[in-house]
Structure 1
Amino acid sequence: MKKYEIFQGIIYINSTFNNTISTLTDLEGNTISWVSSGILGFKGPKKSTSLASQYISEKISHFAVNKNIKIIDIYIKGISIGKEVLLRIMNNCGLYIRSITDITPLPHNGCRKKKRRRV
Structure 2
Amino acid sequence: MLSYKNNVFILILFTPNNIFTTIINYNKNILYKKSLGVNKIKGLKKLTQSSIKNISNEISNFLKDFNFKFHLKLKGLNKFKKIVLKTIFLNFKRTDFVLSISDETIIPYNGCKRKKKRRL
TM-based fold match above 0.5: yes
Q: What is the one-letter code of the residue matched to 1:92?
A: L
How many Å separate the matches in 2 of 1:17 and 1:110? 18
Tell me the residue number matched to 1:98.
99
Superimposed CA distance per residue, residues 13-66 of structure 1 (whole angstroms, 9 cap, x where no aligned partner): 111110011111112322101111111232111122332221111111112222
Q: Provide the TM-score with structure 2 as the length reference.
A: 0.76
SS of 1:58's equivalent in the other structure is: helix
Alignment partner, residue 53 of structure 2: 54
Deviation at 1:7, TM superposition (A): 1.8
Q: TM-score, normalised by structure 1?
A: 0.77
Contact 1:24-1:64 at 8 Å conserved across structures: no
Structure 2 distance, partners of 1:82, 1:52, is: 11
RMSD of aligned C-alpha atoms? 2.1
Which residue of 2 is the match for residue 80 of structure 1? 78
| Aligned partner of residue 108 in structure 2, secondary structure | coil
* Higher fraction of helix: 2
- Of 102-111 and 5-14, the range deviating more from structure 2: 102-111
| 3-state secondary structure, aligned to 2:16 | coil
Deviation at 1:110, TM superposition (A): 6.5
Deviation readout 1:54-104 (Å, 9 max, x if unpaired): 1111111112222331x1111111111221111111112227222111111
Structure 1 stretches lacking a partner, 5+ long: 112-119
Larger Cα Rg: Structure 1 or Structure 2? 1
Residue 33 of structure 2: aligned partner: 34
